[in-house]
Structure 1
Amino acid sequence: MVVREKFEQELAELNRKIIELTHLAAESISRSFTALENQDLDLALEIIEDDTKADMLEEEINEYAILLIAKQQPVAIDLRRIIAAIKIASDIERMADFGVNIAKSTIRIGQEPLIESLSHLRQMKEITMEMIRLSIEAFEKDDIVMARKIAEMDDEVDSLYGESIKSLLQLSNENLQQVTQLSLVARYLERTADHTTNVAESIYYLVRGRHFDLNE
Structure 2
Amino acid sequence: MRTHTHQEFEAELRNLKDRLLAMGGRCEQMIGTAVSAFEDRDEALANEVLEADREMNEDERAVDDLAVRILALRQPVGRDLRFAVAAVKASTDLERIGDEAVNIAERAIEMTPADRLSPPGARLPEMAQRAGAMLREALNALVEEDPKKARDVFDQDDAVDEIYSEVLTMCLDYMKDPSNIGDGIRICNCAKYLERIADHATNIAEMVIFLVEGRDVRHGHA
| TM-score (norm: length of structure 1) | 0.95
Q: 1:62 to 1:211 in 2, by over 3 A?
A: same
**Alignment partner of 1:135 is 2:138:** yes
Structure 2 Cα separation of the partners of residues 11 and 72 of structure 1: 11
TM-score of the two chains, using structure 2 as the length reference: 0.92
Post-superposition shift, 1:2? 6.1
1:205 maps to 210
Find the partner of 2:14 among 7, 12, 15: 12
Between the aligned residues of both structures, percent identity stands at 31
CA distance in 2, matches of 1:147, 1:28: 22
2:193 corresponds in structure 1 to 188
1:53 matches 2:16 = no
Match of 1:83 among 82, 85, 88: 85
**1:42 shift after superposition:** 1.0
Number of aligned positions between the proteins: 216
State which drifts further: 206-215 or 126-135. Answer: 206-215
Does structure 1 retain, via aligned residues, the 8 Å contact 2:37–2:45?
yes
Aligned positions of 1:24-173 closer than 5 A: 24-114=26-116, 116-117=118-119, 118-172=121-175, 173=178
> Is the CA contact 2:39–2:117 (under 8 Å) kept in the aligned structure 1?
no
Measured in 2, the distance between the counterparts of 1:42 and 1:5 equals 45
Measured against aligned partners, the alpha-carbon deviations of 1:36-76 in whole angstroms (never above 9, x if no partner) come to 11211111112112211101110111111111111111111
In structure 1, C-alpha distance between the alignment counterparts of 2:123 and 2:45, rounded to whole Å: 22
Distance 2:78 2:216 in 1: 15
3-state SS in 2 of match to 1:211 = coil
Match of 1:175 among 180, 184, 205: 180
Task: Provide structure 1 residue ranges, at least 5 long, that are not aligned to the other structure.
Answer: none
Cα offset for 1:155? 0.5
The answer on whether the counterparts of 1:58 and 1:90 sit within 8 Å (CA) in structure 2 is yes
**Secondary structure of the structure 1 residue equivalent to 2:174:** coil
Aligned partners of 1:122 and 1:135: how far apart in 2? 20
Structure 1 counterpart of 2:48, one-letter code: E
Please give the root-mean-square deviation of Cα atoms over the aligned residues, in Å: 1.6
CA distance in 2, matches of 1:142, 1:160: 29
- What is the SS of the residue equivalent to 2:116? coil
